[in-house]
Homo-oligomer: A and B are copies of this chain.
């Protein structure tokens, strides 16, 4: 028996959102929309003397992951490997939490359902203050509309039935926590409007347009991000800002057409999955 289980969780860029607070972390979260990415995080879990998290070879503290493993009553080491940058709006912490839940469940035969594991990971992210909606979108895959907030027993999700190549260009880092804990009234108004526009016409073109308008109205654009988005538009493409990171993403070859160095991937259509259980 190999005492290791592995899960793969897509990255996720949020185009727009509105906070939906609640005392119960499995009910709280956000509405909004985003894209799951084929670039993701591979999460391995194995039994350990002491709990620990390692990301790309370096030990670090990740409260959401620790909460997940405590809930599943497992003393494990959780190792993540990813090409996605941390703190740049790709949902790496959500991917680690969800991957830890899926792999730990398999490793110890906990016999929880998919919805239960997603609930555990979502609630842990909310409590840790590192995310409000990535986990449920990463679990589903595709271009996801979060129509109602919370974990799978509470939320309402829908999707844009399309696929696309996605490029991204990272300018810098940004703390999710700092923005989420500030005054978000303008964000919430703009996010609710953007979602309403997207529901009216659930296409990738509308998603990009609504995301761009949201970032402008919610006053989240930094100067460098604004410049990149304008350059992509000038080159005939469609770009927006990944919430919450100093990152621009575009459909197709929008960023490279505008002369930017960009990483290319696809919309992930599968969502989080167990890669292999203990053998």
Contacts and interface: CB of A to CB of B under 8 A. Distances in A.
Interface in A112-170: 112-115, 117, 141-142, 145, 152, 158-163
Nearest to A198: B113
Contacts of A277: 162
Contacts of A114: 142, 158-161, 202
Contacts of A274: 161-163
24 contacts: A102-B161, A105-B161, A106-B161, A109-B203, A111-B201, A111-B202, A111-B203, A111-B206, A112-B161, A112-B202, A113-B158, A113-B160, A113-B161, A113-B199, A114-B142, A114-B158, A114-B161, A141-B270, A142-B273, A162-B277, A269-B270, A269-B273, A270-B270, A270-B271
Contacts of A199: 113
A163 B273 contact: yes
A7 to B, nearest CB: 9
Contacts of A145: 113
A146 B51 CA distance: 36
Interface in A63-122: 102, 105-106, 109, 111-115, 117
Contacts of A203: 109, 111
Interface in A227-279: 269-271, 273-274, 277
A187 to B, nearest CB: 24
Contacts of A115: 158-159
Interface string A199-210: 101110010000
Nearest to A164: B277
A115 B146 CA distance: 12
Contacts of A201: 111
Nearest to A113: B202
Contacts of A159: 113-115
Contacts of A117: 161
A263 to B, nearest CB: 23
A161 B162 CA distance: 25
A37 to B, nearest CB: 15
A104 to B, nearest CB: 11
